[in-house]
Amino acid sequence: MGDIAFNISKAKAGYYAGLPDSSDALVLVVLEASGLEDDDTLVDYDTLGDLLDSNTEQTDMGRKTLSTVTVTVDDTNDWVTIKADDVTWSSATGNATGAVVICYDPNTGTSTDDDRIPLSKHDYAQTPSGSNLSQALSTGFLRIA
């Protein structure tokens, strides 16, 4: 599950993960380990653009659009769990990673990073060396209680 849910997303994550618009998506962005801010600072960013003003994206691995996103309401435990297919980077290269951030992109054709809303951040300490890397999301990447 996510290490943090961004404050901006706490009330909206289930709605956004339901992908309510015809051209929206959830996008995974990789952040470099070097200079990565702590969770207490990251949690306050309202857009991906704001977050990337102070943190460096690991662009060699590239962003990934999540597929098979599901939102499950669990009335027994009083929470919502959001899942997606696992993500794989083939022959990953570039600088060491420290985290991945999953963002809501309201319009994949026209959005900028200032439009993308960070939903969750996950620690992801990897040193790409040309082998495949993956991030498990199919067991759930965000649970909101």
Residue range 43-81, pLDDT digits in tens: 999 999 999 999 999 999 999 999 999 988 888 888 889
Token output for 53 = 């003003």
Are the beta carbons of 134 and 87 closer than 8 angstroms? yes
Question: Residue 25 pLDDT > 70, yes or no?
Answer: yes
What is the rounded distance in angstroms from the CA atom of residue 10 to the CA atom of residue 7?
6
Residue range 131-145, pLDDT digits in tens: 999 999 999 998 887
pTM, to two decimals: 0.91
Mean pLDDT of all residues belonging to the chain: 92
Task: Supply the DSSP string of 14-80, one letter for each residue.
Answer: HHHHT--STT-EEEEEEEESTTPPPHHHHTT--SHHHHHHHS-B-TTT--EE--S-EEEEETTTTEE
Q: How confident is the model at residue 88 (pLDDT cuts 50, 70, 90)?
A: very high
